[in-house]
Amino acid sequence: MSLVQHVSAIDGIDRELEPDLVDDCDFVPIRRKISYDVIQPPSDAIPVAETRPGTPAYKHSTTKRIAQVAVTVIACWSASGIVFGFAALKPVLVEEGVYHERCTPAEKVEGLELCAQQDLGLNLFFTIASITANVSALPVGTVLDRCGSRICWFIACLLLAIGAVIMAFAFHEPGFDGYIAGNFFLALAGTFLFVPSFQIANAFPKYAGSIVALVTGAFDASAAVFLFYRLVYEKSGRSFTPDKFFLGYLIVPVCIFIALVTIMPVRDYVSTLNLQSKLEKAEDATRDVHDSDDEIESTSELNRVRKRRAERRKKKLRQIDAVLGDRDERQMRAEREEDRQQTSWVWGVLHGLPAHKQMATPWFILITLMTVLQMIRMNYFIATIRSQYEYMLESIEEANKIGAFFDVALPVGGVLFTPVIGFLLDRLSVPTMLGLIVLFTTVIGVLNSIPAVWAGYMTVLLFVLLRPLYYSAMSDYTTKVFGFATFGRVYGAIICLSGIANFSQYGLDALTHHTFDGNPIPINVVLAIAGFIVGTSLVIFVFVSVRQLREKGRVDEEERERLLLEEDEEEDEYEDDGSYL
């Protein structure tokens, strides 16, 4: 699956050194907007995304903003992650004979529905799309921060149309092998569509978390697009062929384009950080007085001018309060954010450090290794679920039933589990969350190696819950440990390395078919053991580091109290000696 599609927050607080102080213990909280920009110089204090002009949410009506959120969710559901519905589409590809020409003459005579070389080709079809979705996050994020979401959506419409046309032509003309190219464009379009979609959360800053969850859920649900098509394909007696489907799918980029030029905002909504700056200005009553007031001779006219200024300022204050929340609501959000920071145990560990130094620590190395392994495991499972259980259960019928259950559970599980993920991230410490993930992955690895029907269903059930949990937790870990200032470079590196490592999936498929004669258990066992070792190492490292940091903090606090006590005693001595007389 794709890492970039599960971001837990669009802005937050970084813990950074106070520039005017030299004491390493002097930190100040700085609110930052999340950024995927990987080429911005580290010395730039203000992210490029914050320098672009934007639209305050109060400039548009509530009804229009609701419509924009609805359009964003529908667009993401229909196009952002359809390539991850590969498991549901694969039976259609097999039925249509895609890559069947790669089978040997003996296999064709034998009447094999799916031969080894054909299976490898189909799985590569998915692997390339998965890698594209991850690696493309780097350039897409940079384009977003520098050009805005509108440009990204225009590009997404074009790429969706290109991908759909290529796929339709490939299915219509058997001699044209455009399947991988078409899927590549669909995956790239999904990233261009999805990454900018988080910006719509600024339309309702008070409910930004809920909107982020809706958009994330829409991405998970988009895997069902190919499932719905397969159901129609089977219901029509295979007459609604893929070329017809992909030609019809052109309506999606067309509708998105129409919405883009009619309903969606021309400029992105400004962030909470920007609104808070406007709020501070609106609360400043001294802004009602201008230097030019000295040119107004009439006192009554001067009072009228200042009164109009005050009315405009107070009107803007009410508008900002309506979208950002009044003072009590803002205070409650700030307290919740502080509670989350304290609950995490690791907030601010590496905040303020340059990205290259952050990436040289075990905090980065271990989470990257763990993510690489989990991505390989998850994508290998998605691509081979039917063939795995066909071998382990020695039953095509049972394998198809488990595969059908997976096709439905994958999108539904992500949608239903999203609120629970938010609850867990807010209330569990990062070490506890990592421990829970290691437990999940280990149990899944064990169950996925048991040749039993009940184990297959349990594997699917736990898998569809783990997938969104894992990627959301990784985004959360990155912001809490490394901070928002370096998010683009650090998280981008994790995404890129994980995507590149996914090329190994083709090798795993080849091992399964040729070395192990179709038996997936050795691969599953090795991946489970490797994931357990790396995951356990990460959990132990984080627990030990947290204890050391807490101990250091306790010692520093005791030293600070001792110094303060000595200063008080010295002042008392000076007073007793009459030093201040």
Average pLDDT over residues 487-492: 78
Residue 174 confidence (pLDDT): 80
Average pLDDT over residues 12-18: 55
Euclidean distance between CA atoms 580 and 568, whole angstroms: 15
Residue 5 confidence (pLDDT): 46
Please determine, for residue 581, whether its predicted confidence score (pLDDT) is greater than 60: no
Please determine, for residue 271, whether its predicted confidence score (pLDDT) is greater than 80: no
Name which residue leads in pLDDT, 355 or 43: 355
Instruction: Encode 49-77 in three state secondary structure.
Output: HHHCCCECHHHCCHHHHHHHHHHHHHHHH
Residue 580 confidence (pLDDT): 44
Please determine, for residue 529, whether its predicted confidence score (pLDDT) is greater than 70: yes
Kindly report whether the global pTM for this prediction surpasses the value 0.85.
no
CA neighbours within 13 Å on the CB side: how many for 10? Answer: 30
Name which residue leads in pLDDT, 437 or 492: 437
Name which residue leads in pLDDT, 219 or 566: 219
Residue 574 confidence (pLDDT): 58
DSSP 8-state code for residue 238:
T
Euclidean distance between CA atoms 168 and 528, whole angstroms: 39
1.20.1250.20, 3.40.190.10, 3.30.420.40, 3.30.950.10: which CATH number matches 54-270?
1.20.1250.20
The region of weakest confidence among 82-96, 310-324, 529-543 is 310-324
Name which residue leads in pLDDT, 226 or 208: 226
Average pLDDT over residues 61-81: 93
Residue 20 confidence (pLDDT): 47
Beta-bridged to residue 32, according to DSSP, are 12
The region of weakest confidence among 79-83, 126-130, 175-179, 568-572 is 568-572
CB 183 within 8 A of CB 163: yes
Average pLDDT over residues 226-250: 93
Residue 212 confidence (pLDDT): 81
Instruction: Check for a shared fold between 1-33+350-574 and 54-270.
Output: yes
Average pLDDT over residues 242-267: 94
Output the six-digit token pair for 27.
């930190």
Please determine, for residue 42, whether its predicted confidence score (pLDDT) is greater than 60: no
Confidence of residue 291 (pLDDT cuts 50, 70, 90): confident
**Which among 321, 84, 416 has a CA at the least distance from the CA of 224?**
84
The region of weakest confidence among 334-338, 466-470, 537-541 is 334-338
Mean model confidence pLDDT for the chain: 82
Please determine, for residue 23, whether its predicted confidence score (pLDDT) is greater than 60: no
Question: E strands along 280-341, which residues?
Answer: none
Percent of the chain with pLDDT over 90: 36
Name which residue leads in pLDDT, 488 or 153: 153
The region of weakest confidence among 57-61, 343-347, 429-433, 476-480 is 343-347
Output the six-digit token pair for 549.
């940091």
Domain ranges of the chain: 1-33+350-574, 54-270
Residue 136 confidence (pLDDT): 86
CB count in 10 Å sphere of residue 331:
11
The region of weakest confidence among 24-38, 335-349, 463-477 is 24-38
Name which residue leads in pLDDT, 18 or 341: 341
Please determine, for residue 4, whether its predicted confidence score (pLDDT) is greater than 70: no
Name which residue leads in pLDDT, 423 or 397: 397
What are the pLDDT digits (tens) for 326-368?
777 777 766 776 777 677 778 778 877 888 888 899 999 999 9
Name which residue leads in pLDDT, 242 or 420: 242
Please determine, for residue 167, whether its predicted confidence score (pLDDT) is greater than 70: yes
Average pLDDT over residues 52-61: 79
Give the CA diameter of the chain.
110
Q: What are phi and psi of 6, to 5 degrees?
A: -135, 85
Q: Mean pLDDT: which of 2-11, 108-117, 433-442, 499-508 is highest?
A: 433-442
Confidence of residue 226 (pLDDT cuts 50, 70, 90): very high
Euclidean distance between CA atoms 439 and 498, whole angstroms: 21
DSSP 8-state code for residue 513:
I
Residue 22 confidence (pLDDT): 41
Residue 401 confidence (pLDDT): 93
Residue 572 confidence (pLDDT): 60
Q: Which fold has domain 1-33+350-574?
A: Growth Hormone; Chain: A; (1.20.1250)
